[in-house]
Structure 1
């Protein structure tokens, strides 16, 4: 059996606790019923980095017929929900494995501006060897290309890695490439599952 040499978690819902804070609903009286579906194409572009954050603000505001400043105010609320709260327990576990010699990386479906805000909030760059953000590489999970890019940058074979995500299709895509994968439900369960995999080494 090939030994696992790298641990690769997701951010939102894994390294960050990101409950729904009702941001969309709070802005519906101002933006109109179903407004979030009208701006969905703009947000999809932001997730793969084909437009800047400023362009997101401008295009979404134009679509909704509101001043740019109002959409920027909405985005201020979004970022609070987006960065969530730090999962210190899982981060400590992950950091301890790194100290033992495991490589660490992150694969995250993200949004333009996320690196700066998450770095300010949580300092992920201090915990990991590599962060692969969808908005920086132009592809999102569960597309195999984003996992392959991460593996290439790490210099790892799929069988040498374990991926952790809170969305089963993303885990399935990793397994299809030959990676081990843990579906995150809560921190204690994820740690148990990781320990079980690492003890097979």
Structure 2
């Protein structure tokens, strides 16, 4: 929990990894040293992050939502706290006008500077943007710089909230 909390100290290994100040291999070694298996054996560091994220897949409903938004002429972007090595760049280029990965620019949500960086890349004022994130602290960070924001809980509620903002007369 000390490592994974979004409000964790700036010197924790997750923060260092996601701001590009810690190599993935060093992160894996630090994480492995802090873990044990159910039977008490040490955890193998090499490939640990790949094993942890092996089951993660993109959500087809959210991918469709991005495609629909782009087809409607809306700008789309990805702002991710990550080191970004294994992102499906071809898919992201299809879905997003701008991709900002924290580990590539040395900033991390909810630091206001990362939202301002994204806005600068988009060339849009904050009031013309809607930010969606699954962590409330990141939603609050976007709101603090003037963006409208939606806390993503599931694709249905996110789609509904976006529809209300965009079709309901508050198009970004």
SS at match of 1:126: helix
What is the Cα deviation at residue 60 of structure 1? Answer: 5.3
Trace 1:17-166 onto structure 2 (pairs within 5 A): 41-57=12-28, 70-81=44-55, 84-110=56-82, 112=83, 115-119=84-88, 123-166=91-134
Superposed CA deviations along residues 65-86 of structure 1, whole A, max 9, x for unmatched, are xxxx9201423312315xx122
- CA pair 183-54 structure 1, distance change in 2 beyond 3 A: same
Which residue pairs with 2:39 in the alignment? none
| TM-score (norm: length of structure 1) | 0.68
SS at match of 1:196: helix
Distance in 2, Cα, partners of 1:90 & 1:59: 33
SS at match of 2:86: helix
More helix by share: 1
User: Contact (CA 8 Å) 2:28, 2:47: kept in 1 or not?
Assistant: no
Distance in 2, Cα, partners of 1:161 & 1:72: 40
Indicate the RMSD between aligned Cα atoms, in angstroms.
3.0
Superposed CA deviations along residues 96-155 of structure 1, whole A, max 9, x for unmatched, are 111111111011111x3xx332217x8222211111111111111111111000000110
| TM-score (norm: length of structure 2) | 0.79
- Aligned residue pairs: how many? 158
- Unaligned runs of 5+ residues in structure 1 are 1-33
- CA pair 58-146 structure 1, distance change in 2 beyond 3 A: same
- CA pair 60-189 structure 1, distance change in 2 beyond 3 A: closer
Question: Of the two structures, which has the highest relative contact order with CA contacts closer than 8 Å and spacing of 6 or more?
Answer: 1
- Unaligned runs of 5+ residues in structure 2 are 5-10, 35-42
